[in-house]
Amino acid sequence: MFDIRLSDNGEILLSGRFDAAKVETAKTVFDQLESSGVVDFKDLEYISSAGLSVLLATQKRLSESDSSLKLKNMSKHIRDVFRYAGFDMVFEIEG
């Protein structure tokens, strides 16, 4: 199961498994971002390459207007996925 929602303070909260079957659901939220945003991974268990591509496309689009995504609360496993993919050089990752 995958869930994506906005918190009261405007952060994007991810939970469950972010895979190819959930790309369209996630894109509807990420495509609404017009400026920098924070994505909270605290409850995310898994991310596939399809999920990574949604984040990368959003980061590229935002960078055109000097904005970006900040990612936080990643598990060690998901942080390793980002590091192996070289995405730790593309995104600001906190905690």
CATH H superfamily, domain 2-94:
STAS domain (3.30.750.24)
Q: What secondary structure does DSSP assign to the chain, as a single string?
A: -EEEEE-TTS-EEEEEEE-GGGHHHHHHHHTT--S-EEEEEEEEEEE-HHHHHHHHHHHHHHHTTT--EEEE---HHHHHHHHHHTGGGTSEEE-
Model pTM? 0.95
- pLDDT by residue (tens digit) across 14-53? 999 999 999 999 999 999 999 999 999 999 999 999 999 9
Domain spans of the chain, in order of start: 2-94
